[in-house]
Structure 1
Amino acid sequence: MQSLCCQSTSIRSEDRMKSATALLLTLCLSGALVQAETASHSDISAELGALRATVEELRLMESRLAASESKVQAQEDSVKDLRAELDVTKKELLQYKEQAEEMGKKLADGPKVAFSVALTGAVGPFNVESTLIYPKIITNIGNAYNTYTGVFTAPVRGVYFFRFNAMDDRKNNHMGAALYKNNQRVLLNYSWNHWDDHEHVSNGVVLELLQGDVVYMRLPAWYRVTDFVEHHFNIFSGFLIFSM
């Protein structure tokens, strides 16, 4: 009987030891799990923080990239506008070049008209206005000036330049000359000679003439002009600038 009691007591002690051991193991495992879980939450928080920082950095880079793309697009648009302006300028220059070439061709293929004629002595004074006839031919390309009538006749419609010089040496007298287009006086230049010396006047004008229009010089009444052999003080000149 006593042996049975001792055996029963021994079994209970072993059971208590097993229970205590199991409890201890349970507590250890629970602590390890809590520690592991705590460590796991810390790692996740750190990773989430790093991820948020990365996302913010990516957003900032995206914003900068969008701004750069906007600038690049603006520059591309500006380059396109400049290219368009350059194309327009090239077309205009090409048109001007073609016009210049056409004008040059017309001038090259058009009529050649130029003359310079001179008086050879004193003319006047007359009691009426008279046409000046310049007998000395210096140049008469195109033969548009008539040495018998003193009249230049436009061979083609165009723009012409005319110029004249006049001189006289009579003291206390008027001198000068007038330029006419058809029957209309265009200009008159004159002077009163105060001294016993050479008095000069000159002028020039650009005229648009139709084919057949005439230009000539006239000496006003009581005026005189004088030349001395080859001095050519009195010159009447003109030439075609361009035809139309």
Structure 2
Amino acid sequence: MVVLQMVLLLCAGSSLADDLFSPNVNIIAELEKLKNMEERIQKLEETLTKVLSENEALKTLEKDSQNKMEFFQKENEAKKVAFSAGLLESGTGYTGPINTPKTLVYKKVFSNIGGAYDPNTGVFTAPVKGAYYLRFYGHSHGGTTMAVSLLKNGETQCSLYSWKPTSNGNASNGVVLTLETGDQISTRLWQNTWVYDDPASYTSFGGFLIFPL
């Protein structure tokens, strides 16, 4: 009996030792699960970072595309340039003569596509670099001299002239000019000369962009 008890005690001690010193299978399995979970979380973080990076790239691309579209729209609008105006907004009458040259201000605006002509100053300002066609007309009555020049940035480009016609005098001129952005075009009445206008707009000024450069 004593021997049997001793054997049982030895077996129990051996089993307890095995439990204490042998790895616990459940703990290892849980640790393995945690390891796998950490790997999955890391992969998710990497995927999320990649998605966020791609999203930022898409936002940048979208912004660039929008900027380009706005640029092309503005450029296309800038290509639409044309104007035409008569000297007097209403009524009839002479302009001149005066002792010094005078910039003619055409008040009766028929069209001003692009808004490059200023009816307050009589000056057309080129919105884009390009080839432009400019034309102007003048009218005078018998016995008066009419002379008008077309100017680019204050420099005469071409002129029209009618010296004391016996009845009515009419003249016109036109030119194709290469203009830089901001170049200014106007017409100037010579000193001691006259121009006449009425609701028929005999004296007028106009032009348009042929093509940009």
- The question of 1:158 aligning with 2:158 is answered no
Match of 2:102 in 1: 130
Residue 153 of structure 2, aligned match among 182, 200, 207: 182
| Percent pairwise identity | 42
Whole-angstrom CA distance in 2 between matches of 1:116 and 1:110: 17
What is the distance in 2 between the residues matched to 1:184 and 1:142?
24
1:20-31 to structure 2, matched below 5 A, reads: none
Residues 79 and 211 in structure 2, CA contact (< 8 A), matched pair in contact too? no
1:193 is paired with a residue whose SS is coil
Amino acid aligned to 2:149: A
Question: How many angstroms does 1:139 deviate by?
Answer: 0.7
Aligned pairs (5 A) from 1:1-244: 111-120=79-88, 121-171=93-143, 173-195=144-166, 197-228=167-198, 230-244=199-213
- 1:144 to 1:109, Cα distance in 2 relative to 1, 3 A: closer
Greater relative CO, 1 or 2 (CA 8 Å, sep 6+): 2
2:172 and 2:99 mapped to 1: Cα distance?
A: 23
Partner of 1:31: none
CA distance in 1, matches of 2:165, 2:136: 22
Q: In the aligned structure 2, how far is the partner of 1:178 from the partner of 1:192?
A: 15
Moved over 4 A (4+): 107-110
Q: Report the Cα offset of residue 110 of structure 1.
A: 5.2
Determine which structure has more spread, i.e. the larger CA radius of gyration. Answer: 1
- 1:135 partner amino acid: K
Q: What's 1:11 paired with?
A: none
Q: State how far apart, in whole Å, the 1-side matches of 2:168 and 2:209 are.
A: 31
The aligned counterpart of 1:93 is: none
Q: Deviations over 1:188-239 (max 9, x none)?
A: 21111231x21001011000000000000000000100011x2110110100
Output the aligned Cα RMSD: 1.9
| Secondary structure, counterpart of 1:223 in structure 2 | coil
CA contact (8 A) 1:153 1:214 kept: yes
Counterpart CA distance in 1 for 2:98 and 2:115 is: 29
Q: CA deviation at 1:109?
A: 6.5
Tell me by how many angstroms 1:111 deviates: 2.0
Give the TM-score of the pair, scaled to structure 1.
Answer: 0.53
Question: Is the contact made by 2:78 and 2:114 (CA closer than 8 Å) also made in structure 1?
Answer: no
Q: State the SS of the aligned residue for 2:201.
A: coil
1:123–1:109 distance in 2 versus 1, CA, 3 Å: closer
Q: Is the 8 A contact 2:141 2:165 kept in 1?
A: no
- Using the alignment, how far apart are the partners of 2:123 and 2:174 within structure 1? 17
**Number of residue pairs matched?**
137
Cα deviation code 1:57-81 (max 9, x no counterpart): xxxxxxxxxxxxxxxxxxxxxxxxx
